[in-house]
Structure 1
Amino acid sequence: MRRLLAFDIALFALVVVLFALSDSVVSVPLAVVQLLPLLVRRRYPGAALAVIAAATAAHSLLGMARAVGYLPAALALYGAATHRSPWVRWGVCGGAVVLVTVTGAIRHGPVEGGLLAAGALIVTWLFGAERGVLLRERALVAQLRLDRHLADRAAATASSRERLARRLHDGLAHTMTVMLVQGEALRATARLTTADEERLDVVLGAGRAALAEVRLALAEEAQRDAAATLDGRLAALREAGLEADGITGLDTLPAAVREVAFRLVGEAATNALRHDGPGARLDAAVTRAGETVRLGLTSTPGSGRPASEPGGGGFGLASLAEDVTAVGGTLTYGPAERGWRVTAEFREPPTHRAAP
């Protein structure tokens, strides 16, 4: 992003210098209106092109030199032609080409003015549209690669978890369950002394604790699998163009909700790249207020693009909302300033401290 900003500033400075040295400026205010929108052409490509095209047309009618004077319009046209919106890509770009071409023909004649402007702008327009197609195809290929990677990773994780669960269930957990059942039966049917009952209670308590540790080990394994899956998912998304360096604090979430939180971050990251393309950014923040712990995920489009709404949140978030509810939390999502925000709130269990 910093290199892109530096490039835009250098390009803007170069165009300003060319305007100053070419002696093409007839109206300084119109020249300023032609140049300034270049600074926001990535964030507002359609609006920037419309303003620059109108200023270029007016400046051309006043006698502006053609070559350098059309450069801001060409740069804005190239950027707008890559936009994902057909209205911007064809409507605004087409209108700008027609406007600049007609005014050029009026001022400088149909050949030197109209055809020259039309040829240069149409070629620029087509190059921009082709680059937009390549960017969208690149995002699609990255998404397909990501889906395949996630499917392979999920299959491997499920297989590993199934093997571990089967070994624990068929081995230690099954044996401990049998011991507990037999111990309870012994207490119900045998005549035991008080000392024997106390010994049996110790044995049964140890057995229940061991069985609980087995279940806890399975839960922790599920969390480790979810964390590893998230790491792989974020790595693939970063390779495809997502900026996801601001994801911190997940390890501080309550253990009971951590697995759901990992999957929620993965879904939000995938949606950010899918809907806003390469350069999109995802940030995560964990905050606490009383007994409530909040996980906030915010995605913003890259290169100044306007955010696109993910169709009401999509099936993935709707499904995860049920999982969040199942662990006692709530999930909300919707548009935010220049982006999309997902917020999950959970009840944090009280911390028990040992008395001094």
Structure 2
Amino acid sequence: MRRHWRLAVDAALYALLVVLVTFSHSVVSVPLAVVQLLPLLIRRRYPGVALVVIAAATAAHSLLGMARAVGYLPMALALYGAATHRSPWVRWGVCGGAAVLVTVTGAIRHGPIEGGLLAAGALVVTWLFGVERGELLRERALIAQLRLERHLADQAAATAGSRERLARRLHDGLAHTVTVMLVQGEALRATAHLSAADEERLQGVLRAGRDALAEVRLALAEETQRDAAATLDGRLAALREAGLSVDGVAGLDALPEVAYRLVGEAATNALRHDGPGARLDAVLTRDGDTVALRLMSTPATPRPPAAAPAGGGFGLRSLADDVAAVGGTLSYGPFGTGWRVVAEFPAS
């Protein structure tokens, strides 16, 4: 719903700007007016590029005699959007350069007071509002992340306690009793003189006992898997609420329990490093005797590959050991403008 409302607000704002520019008699050059307005359509996805283009068009239009009041509106919107960017280079370097350019051209055309000082005051105020808005968004994302981590820690502790109590009851009760039965049965077969029919009956009892122990172990493993799936569902729901775009991952029940924790860690890192609006894509493929889980995070605002995080944190390093413990391999690192995590497990 928030995404749809954002599109509606952007469309209404853009239409209002087009109407104001059209009927304000401020257009000196139609091509320059188009260049001032058109990049606003990409200002959320490419705020730095949009600001540079709009600033250059506004400066040129200002030198030709553009009216100040309406002509600076596209520049103000682009400046506000770029000022919320995560990159300091965009937030301070690009925004500062664009503001200086428009201020200087305004002073040349309309004088230092009416043109330069007025433009500088309006643009600086807009710029600082954008910076403050960006800081607020990042702070909200951090708070949501901390709340999520605390919730997950509490949930994991409760789940571990419940699983430990269940395992203890099964071990001290059913598993212990069946083990005693198996030991007694083996002792009977070793010491007693049994007929062929009795030997076959005893072998059936022992086989049933071993199957019962195997079912207990399987039940514990399935309980662990169910707990991991429920934990991941809660984690993804909280991350979506904090601004991450991620779809449910199908097929994890065929993988070890560590795969659930791996998806949760990758999703958390995507929101932490790329901020609200980031996206996590998961692909599960099978090639012969290997099942590969690929997780790719993409920031909402594309960035140069060099700006991607350069190394994995403690979470991924710890998970690499857990993946290796079940016979798999884990690799991760920057990929394009985002981050990729690849885990490979034996198909068995």
Q: What TM-score, normalized by structure 2, do the two folds share?
A: 0.92
What secondary structure is seen at the aligned counterpart in 2 of 1:328?
coil
Q: Which residue of 2 aligns with 1:354?
A: none
Q: Which residue of 2 aligns with 1:134?
A: 136
Could you list the runs of 5+ residues in structure 1 that have no partner in the other structure? 350-356
Q: Over aligned residue pairs, what C-alpha RMSD do you find?
A: 2.0
Question: Are 1:226 and 1:259, in contact at CA under 8 Å, matched by a contact in 2?
Answer: yes
Rounded to whole Å, the distance in 2 between the matches of 1:240 and 1:144 is 11
Q: Which residue of 1 aligns with 2:145?
A: 143
1:331 has 2:330 as partner? yes
1:229-248 superposed matches below 5 A: 229-244=231-246, 246-248=247-249
Q: Which residue of 1 aligns with 2:295?
A: 297
Rounded to whole Å, the distance in 2 between the matches of 1:40 and 1:313 is 31
What secondary structure is seen at the aligned counterpart in 2 of 1:344?
strand
Rounded to whole Å, the distance in 1 between the matches of 2:291 and 2:109 is 66
Rounded to whole Å, the distance in 2 between the matches of 1:166 and 1:310 is 43
Go from structure 1 to structure 2 and tell me whether the alpha carbon gap of 1:167 and 1:310 turns closer, same or farther (over 3 Å shift): farther
Q: Which residue of 1 aligns with 2:39?
A: 37
Identity score, percent: 79
Question: Are 1:247 and 1:282, in contact at CA under 8 Å, matched by a contact in 2?
Answer: no
Moved more, 116-125 or 272-281: 272-281
Shift of 1:337: 4.6
Rounded to whole Å, the distance in 2 between the matches of 1:22 and 1:305 is 35
Alignment equivalent of 1:266, drawn from 264, 289, 314: 264
Question: Are 2:256 and 2:326, in contact at CA under 8 Å, matched by a contact in 1?
Answer: no
**Segments ≥4 residues shifted beyond 6 Å:** none
Rounded to whole Å, the distance in 1 between the matches of 2:68 and 2:122 is 11
Moved more, 121-130 or 36-45: 36-45
What secondary structure is seen at the aligned counterpart in 2 of 1:183?
helix
Encode CA deviations 1:310-332: one digit per residue, 9 max, x unaligned.
44232222222232233233333
What secondary structure is seen at the aligned counterpart in 2 of 1:83?
coil
Shift of 1:258: 4.1
1:213 has 2:212 as partner? no
Shift of 1:230: 0.8
1:118 has 2:116 as partner? no
Shift of 1:132: 0.8
Shift of 1:297: 2.4
Could you list the runs of 5+ residues in structure 2 that have no partner in the other structure? none
1:5 has 2:4 as partner? no
Question: Are 1:247 and 1:283, in contact at CA under 8 Å, matched by a contact in 2?
Answer: no
The letter of the residue matching 2:176 is H
Rounded to whole Å, the distance in 2 between the matches of 1:329 and 1:28 is 61
Moved more, 211-220 or 272-281: 272-281
Question: Are 1:329 and 1:344, in contact at CA under 8 Å, matched by a contact in 2?
Answer: yes
Q: Which residue of 2 aligns with 1:345?
A: 344
Rounded to whole Å, the distance in 2 between the matches of 1:343 and 1:141 is 29
Encode CA deviations 1:169-188: one digit per residue, 9 max, x unaligned.
11111122222222222322
Rounded to whole Å, the distance in 2 between the matches of 1:147 and 1:132 is 23
1:249 has 2:250 as partner? yes
Rounded to whole Å, the distance in 1 between the matches of 2:283 and 2:248 is 7
Rounded to whole Å, the distance in 1 between the matches of 2:345 and 2:16 is 53
The letter of the residue matching 2:344 is E
Q: Which residue of 2 aligns with 1:167?
A: 169
Rounded to whole Å, the distance in 1 between the matches of 2:310 and 2:202 is 60
1:313 has 2:315 as partner? no
Encode CA deviations 1:9-37: one digit per residue, 9 max, x unaligned.
33223222222211212222322222222
Shift of 1:4: 2.4
The letter of the residue matching 1:47 is V
Question: Are 1:44 and 1:306, in contact at CA under 8 Å, matched by a contact in 2?
Answer: no
Rounded to whole Å, the distance in 1 between the matches of 2:308 and 2:336 is 12
Encode CA deviations 1:327-347: one digit per residue, 9 max, x unaligned.
233333333455333333333
Rounded to whole Å, the distance in 2 between the matches of 1:238 and 1:19 is 38
The letter of the residue matching 2:276 is P
Q: How many residues align?
A: 344
Rounded to whole Å, the distance in 1 between the matches of 2:335 and 2:14 is 30
